[in-house]
Amino acid sequence: MAKREVEEINAGSMADIAFLLLIFFLITTTMNLPQVHEERLPQKSDVEFLLNEKNVLQIMANKNDKIGIEGEFAEIEDIQNAVKKFYQHKEGTPNQPQYIEVSRKICEDTLESLENALNVYPDAPLFKIEQDAWTRRLDACVAFGSGFQTLPNNATVSIQLDNATKYVTYMSVLDQIMQGLNSLRDSLCKDKFGVSFERLNDKVESDKQKISAIRQVYPKKIMKEKNRSVQ
């Protein structure tokens, strides 16, 4: 009697298994994106800005990479606290900037008067910038459900470097500033939205609004001063 023929294995489901594996790896694999610090260079301009001493937090690094804050020698780790104090201090502290109040009503009133001004001077770039800024502030008020205080427009952290300052010092100063700023943002975020700032994802629309709102309260404002020899 002849042997029974071996039946062919059905390979139809192989594709399913393959796709299952493919999808599994697709989901679980994460790519490591290059890590960077972003900076926007200022427009080339010869206009000198007059800044109120109070509204500037001055950070210096000399040719030996020694750090100075507001004219006094300091350690690099001190920058973080100086930045925090600059952005968040008790109203009326001497040598610190005065806050401006932002509330829904103030935003709406300002936007209305800007609207009127723009009707008269439709091409005034300054008004348009102001309009953008106040629109974002209004959005922030809506997101928080209340008004807030923030630094005036001309308040800024200023970095002065010597030509011979090392790049690593510059990066560390920027890092310290961002660490100070992000810890303030983080505590505000936990307070208002109950999540940490890092967890917010700017790809999600509702998170994006929150990020933008928090940035209105603690904006990143860094100014680099022109070449100058720092003692």
Partner 1 sequence: MSKFSKGKKRKDPAISTAALPDIVFMLLFFFMVTTVFKEKESKKLEIDKVAIKETIDLEKNIKASYFWIGRVPGKVDDFRVQLDDDLINDYSEIREYLIKLRKNPEYSQVWDSRFFNVFKVDKKTEMRIVRKVHDELKEAEAFKVVYSVNREK
Which positions lie near partner 1, rule CB under 8 A? 2-3, 5-9, 11-12, 14-15, 18-19, 21-22, 25-26, 29, 31-44, 161-168, 170-172, 174-175, 178-179, 182, 227
Q: 41 or 50: whose CB is closer to partner 1?
A: 41
- The Cα–Cα gap between 84 and 184 comes to 7
Q: 167 or 205: whose CB is closer to partner 1?
A: 167
- The Cα–Cα gap between 130 and 113 comes to 11
Task: Report the 10 Å Cβ neighbour count for 41.
Answer: 6
Q: 41 or 47: whose CB is closer to partner 1?
A: 41
Q: 54 or 84: whose CB is closer to partner 1?
A: 84
Q: Is 135 left (phi over 0), alpha (psi -120 to 50) or beta?
A: alpha
- Minimum CB separation of residue 142 from partner 1 in Å reads 26
Q: 9 or 50: whose CB is closer to partner 1?
A: 9
Q: Is 65 left (phi over 0), alpha (psi -120 to 50) or beta?
A: left
- Minimum CB separation of residue 128 from partner 1 in Å reads 16
Helix (H, G, I), strand (E, B) or coil at 42: coil
Kindly list the distances between the CA atom of residue 179 and the CA atoms of 77, 133, 146, 184, in Å, as whole numbers in the listed order: 10, 24, 26, 9
- Minimum CB separation of residue 82 from partner 1 in Å reads 16
- Minimum CB separation of residue 145 from partner 1 in Å reads 28
Residue listed under structure tokens 């309009």: 131
Q: Is 71 left (phi over 0), alpha (psi -120 to 50) or beta?
A: left
- Minimum CB separation of residue 65 from partner 1 in Å reads 10
